[in-house]
Amino acid sequence: MTNLLSNLRCDRNRTGTTLVVFFIVSLFFYRCSVPPADLNEIDLDAIDEQVMVLEASVKAVQFEMTMESGETGKIMPRSISENGELVLVQPGDWTSGFYPGMLWYMYELTGYDSWRDIALEYTEKLENQMYNASNHDVGFRMFCSYGNALRVTGDSSYIPILVQSAKTLISRYNGKVGCIRSWDFNTDVWQYPVIIDNMMNLELLFWATEQTGDPIYREIALRHANTTLENHFRPDYSSFHVVDYDTISGEVRGKYTHQGFSPGSVWARGQSWGLYGYTMSYRFTRDPAYLEVAEGIARYLLNHPNLPKDRIPYWDYDAPRLRREPRDASAAAIMASALYELSDYTDDGEYFRERADWIMESLSSGEYRSPDGENFGFLLDHSTGGLPQNSEIDVPLIYGDYYYLEALLRRMGKL
């Protein structure tokens, strides 16, 4: 603890630093439970202390915003800005569900009741997002937060919130297209854009049918997954990022990228979304077509000639300057989590689990793990959000930490 406090950095003001220290000390003395004995050789103490720094940093910045400008809406950590400040976002941001979700994961990993209480605090800040139909990300916002809360606590009061979230998500579905619309911007270019990322939000829909017995959610999830399988993928199992549809005919108007190098390139995080999405879809359906594509994506990525030896991909597998291009640790964390789950479904499970272990070994040591007490408490460094937009390049990203912890839980057989 002394080492943690001595390493704590806060570049804003003395008031914020005092609040950080106070919160960490308070949390330290609040520990109520004994962590599990089998840590599977994972240094959970170091992870625990680092996330304590993140929570303390969030509280400090929230306090400073309130004192300086009265700003109270930005509550969830997302990244670190170019000028070195912690970036907080409002509940409507697409990333807002990841922090509550990773706090639930911290509770499962450590057994500390304090993480459960903090997870509850942040989860409940998102309740009104069950009505936010502005984009497809209601699944990210609500299933990562309330979905994990329900899974961990069994509190049935979360069920209506999640069911309403599913209703909100399917309000963006177009039966002629056969997909849920992803975004509402760039209307001068796209008529009905669907991104590979959207596969991740189908988990909420599959769950909703299992919970309510209403088949509509599953039917839409299946139609979306099948349409995406037909139109997003190339013969080698790589994926386009954006497919635009005609809302009248349902036909494909064009295939693009938004965050990748080029329309025909292999944007790293998009490939990981696809791998994870079809692995998850197989979990709910046992459709062999979904398992086949998940295995195909996994083999394509793991054997890609441009995948570095440490298996942390560049932001795009086809980026032109390779060794000088930034990496995307978040894409690696998503891939590792998906590979652990995939290993449970295939005859080649040992192969996929071993590769997931290799990725996690790289993420857990060396340059990808933030130094203790630094980076405001983010666990991973060197992720890339949107390089073409000059946005969040070579920085920590909250969803990288979320899927890193999820992969740890899967590696330990707890998820």
By annotation, the residues acting in catalysis are: 137, 197
Q: Could you give the CA distance from residue 80 to residue 319 in angstroms, rounded to a whole number?
A: 24
Q: Please report, in angstroms and rounded to a whole number, the separation of the first and last CA atoms in the chain.
A: 29
Among 253, 120, 274, 259, smallest CA distance to 196 is for: 274
Q: Could you give the CA distance from residue 214 to residue 134 in angstroms, rounded to a whole number?
A: 24
Who's near 75: CB < 8 A, 6+ residues apart?
Answer: 58, 62, 88, 89, 90, 91, 96, 122, 125
Per DSSP, helices labelled H in 84-235 are: 98-110, 113-124, 138-142, 148-153, 159-170, 202-212, 216-231
Q: Does residue 31 sit in helix, strand or coil?
A: coil
- Number of H-type helices and E-type strands within the chain: 15, 9
H/E stretch holding 63: helix 44-69
Q: What is the largest CA-CA distance in the chain?
A: 65
Q: Name the residue type at position 287.
A: D
**In this structure, what are the phi and psi dihedrals at residue 198, rounded to the nearest 5 degrees?**
-60, -20
